[in-house]
Amino acid sequence: MKYVTANGAHLPALGFGTFRMPGADVLRILPLALKTGFRHIDTAQIYGNEAAVGEAIARSGLARGDIFLTTKVWVDKFSRRDMGPSVEESLKKLETDHVDLLLLHWPQSPVPLAEQIEGLNALVDAGKVRHIGVSNYNCALMGEAVRLSKAPIVTNQIEYHPYLDQTAVLSAARSYGMSVTAYYAMADGRVPKDELLQDIGARHGKTAAQVALRWLIQQQSVAALTKTATESRLAENFAVFDFSLDAAEMDAISALARPDGRIVNPGHLAPEWD
């Protein structure tokens, strides 16, 4: 496993995501993901599956310290009054006394950002959270979060795949010593069908999906989340550390980006994107 180092945190470069995964699927597939070698697990309060994630990890037999566990605070729990109790509830569901990374899930909220960041820092001070970060932030919001926070901001979890240019956010994150964690790496099913990615994969004996994941984690300070409920895909998704893309291949994949490449854009939650 490759690791991404950012502001004191060491994130396994490849994570297993659980977005839109019902608890029954988590209990079925997450133990297999852990056996495959995944050690970076991503969930969120709004996913409704923290309890299943916690149960699967507890049953795995792995030491808690061997797993990098991320969850996210939903926007209705950002206030000084609500954040702490909501995270306590998450910890109970996850069957742990801490999470390795806690993120603010989306930026749009009536709660001032200073209050949100204060809440994250209080949880770090209390030992409930090892590292903190944000999700779906633009460059300006990242800079403001960094300015307001006593604890380092470790990552910005964003939509990132070959069809979406995130150069500006990547550059800003690196300037703050932060990482970027990519979600929607398969671009909602578009990646496996892409002819360029298939052609590059054929040169390496890999699939288009593996090429896209490799393209992500081969970039400086980038981790990527994978997600599957299909057992046969687990080993495929994990087998991205035994080959490399050359500069021409990396550039060709980056050139797939297009102005309308963004998929996730809820108007009531999203910022003004860079």
* Annotated binding-site residue? 105: yes
- Radius of gyration in angstroms for the set of CA atoms belonging to the chain, rounded to a whole number: 18
Reported as a pLDDT band with limits 50, 70 and 90, residue 56 is very high
* Residue 74 pLDDT: 98
Q: What is the number of other CB atoms lying within 10 angstroms of the CB of residue 168?
A: 12
Per-residue model confidence as pLDDT tens digits over 1-24: 999 999 999 999 999 999 999 999
* 47 a catalytic residue: yes
In the chain, where are the structural domains located? 3-187+219-230
Average of per-residue pLDDT across 25-31:
98
Which of the following is catalytic: 3, 47, 176, 183?
A: 47
* Residue 83 pLDDT: 98
Backbone angles phi and psi of 38, in degrees to 5: -60, 135
Q: How far is CA 247 from the centre of its chain?
A: 25
Q: Nearest CA to 170 among 14, 274, 16?
A: 274
**Residue 126: enclosing H or E segment and its boundaries?**
none
The class that CATH gives domain 3-187+219-230 is alpha beta
Average of per-residue pLDDT across 23-52:
98
Reported as a pLDDT band with limits 50, 70 and 90, residue 177 is very high
Per-residue model confidence as pLDDT tens digits over 65-117: 999 999 999 999 999 999 999 999 999 999 999 999 999 999 999 999 999 99
Per-residue model confidence as pLDDT tens digits over 123-172: 999 999 999 999 999 999 999 999 999 999 999 999 999 999 999 999 99
**Residue 183: enclosing H or E segment and its boundaries?**
strand 179-183
Reported as a pLDDT band with limits 50, 70 and 90, residue 43 is very high
* Residue 97 pLDDT: 98
* Residue 111 pLDDT: 98
d(CA 212, CA 121): 35
Predicted model pTM: 0.98
Per-residue model confidence as pLDDT tens digits over 191-246: 999 999 999 999 999 999 999 999 999 999 999 999 999 999 999 999 999 999 99
* Residue 192 pLDDT: 97
